[in-house]
Structure 1
Amino acid sequence: MSKELRGQLIYSNPLDSPEAIADFRLEGQAACSFPLGRLRMENAADPKEGQKSNFVLWCPESFPADLSVEWDFWPIREPGLCILFFSAQGRQGEDLFDPALAQRTGEYDMYHHGDIHAFHISYFRRRYPEERAFHLCNLRKSYGFHMVAQGADRIPPVADAAGPYRMRVDKLGAKVAFYINDLLIFEWEDDGATFGRLLGGGKLGFRQMAPLMAEYANLKVYELG
């Protein structure tokens, strides 16, 4: 998809101070700091606890179905992985933070086999040996654990990384595209049947898998269309 399709900037957050994320919703345990004027996140629970040591930080805004999301990313410490959730809402159309939905505390299955729908893109996947040997980005659609697209991850290991890497996700109608530094990583079109109905608007959030440490800045969301 082309940047020329972008319309109005509807959300902008520098992620540069505690005040910038004061209204964000954390699920799980994380340590958030701003040593370089950008959001640094790492697990606060012991990685030996497995999925209980992972977490998701949600932006409080609800966004439309057609959007372009951009953010800057720096990997600081491996191993681990990162995920962006988007178009996240309850399976019956509830707001993601509706108290009627089951409590979520960072364990992965709560997000793909819980009571929400969402897309999620996993990138900088460096948690397991097979991920470190062959770097890929994945797009999954939930409810369910449906792998719908993959592409090569152009971000090098931490030792060679020289961020920021400008990440971008475009969702327009049935199409989803993912870019790193304007290089297309994958593009996929949903038929609205094979993996469930087309997903609409909702919330977005950042997930990390322990013991990764990473930094984020300059979150921007545009209307698409």
Structure 2
Amino acid sequence: MIYSNPLRGPSDVAGWVAEGPVQFGTHDDGGPGLSGDGTSALVLSGSLDAEEHGDHAHWTLWCPEEIPDHVRITWEFLPLEEPGLAMVFFAARGHRGEDLFSPSLAPRTGFYPQYHSGDLDALHISYFRHKYASERRFRTCNLRKSTGFQLVAQGADPLPPAEDADGFYRMEVIKDGPRVAFSIDGLPLFEWMDPSPEPLGGGYFGIRQMAPLKAAYRNLSISPL
């Protein structure tokens, strides 16, 4: 195991790096005689009104440990309140190889262009794209490569709306050199091979949401392939 975090509540991410107006809470998944398995989970949402603050109401939350290449990343996800969008970053570092938290990089506040067209290199998957009506009409999971906001792979999104969600869903990312694969509850959604001569390697993992989405997370695990 490279990194493991139960994500049972805000204390489990006390050392993570928040960029933007993220708000923390706890979700209790039932108990004896109730639906769910009785365990708690970390709830993440935005602290600013999305209508008033627009694209500056969104945020990113980084795991503080650098992750090597050739890994399997899994976590559990449950949408609680819509609309919104959920995303993860991985293999994130400075465009010239700097550490993600180097003071030489421009400050980041959760504003999306800072991540896809700034001074970072990263891969990111958006997998719960329920922010806009067009996304809800035809739901997809998108893989983009930055710097440059390049859409490099796409697959269908099987996740239901929050009102129909039936417990937590298991997300899995494989990052293996040029190969990236993504699945939900064991259902393969896309696989992509980076054709570039120098594909992104190791880097940092982060969670991102577009407000006003409220969602629960638990059982983050990063292991070698």
**TM-score, normalising length from structure 1?**
0.93
Q: What's 2:46 paired with?
A: 43
* Secondary structure of the structure 2 residue equivalent to 1:52: helix
CA drift of 1:113 comes to 0.6
> Which stretch has the larger CA shift, 109-118 or 33-42?
33-42
Give the Å deviation of 1:153.
0.5
Amino acid in structure 2 at the alignment position of 1:86: F
1:18 shift after superposition:
2.7
Q: Structure 2 unaligned runs (5+)?
A: 29-39
Report the Cα distance in structure 2 between the residues aligned to 1:35 and 1:179, rounded to whole angstroms.
Answer: 24
Shift, 1:159, TM fit: 1.5
State the Cα distance separating 1:35 from its structure 2 match.
3.5
Does residue 126 (structure 1) correspond to residue 130 (structure 2)? The answer is yes
* Cα deviations by residue, 1:164-210 (Å, 9 ceiling, x for unpaired): 100000011211000000110000000115xxx31010000000001
1:1-225 equivalences under 5 Å are: 9-36=1-28, 37-48=40-51, 49-192=53-196, 197-224=198-225
**Letter matched to residue 193 of structure 2:** E
- SS of equivalent to 1:218: strand
Give a deviation string over 1:64-112, Cα, whole Å, max 9, x none: 0111100000000111100100000001111101111100000110001
Structure 1 segments of 4+ aligned residues over 3 angstroms from their partners: none
Identity of aligned residues (%): 50
TM-score by length of 2: 0.93
2:210 corresponds to which letter in structure 1?
M
Q: Residue 163 of structure 1: CA displacement? A: 2.2
Total equivalences in the alignment: 213
2:33 maps to what in 1? Answer: none
What's the counterpart of residue 31 of structure 2?
none
Q: Output the aligned Cα RMSD.
A: 0.9
Q: SS state of the match for residue 221, structure 1?
A: strand
- Counterparts of 2:25 and 2:101, CA distance in 1: 24
- Aligned-partner Cα distance in 2 for 1:209–1:96: 21
Amino acid corresponding to residue 41 of structure 1 in structure 2? L
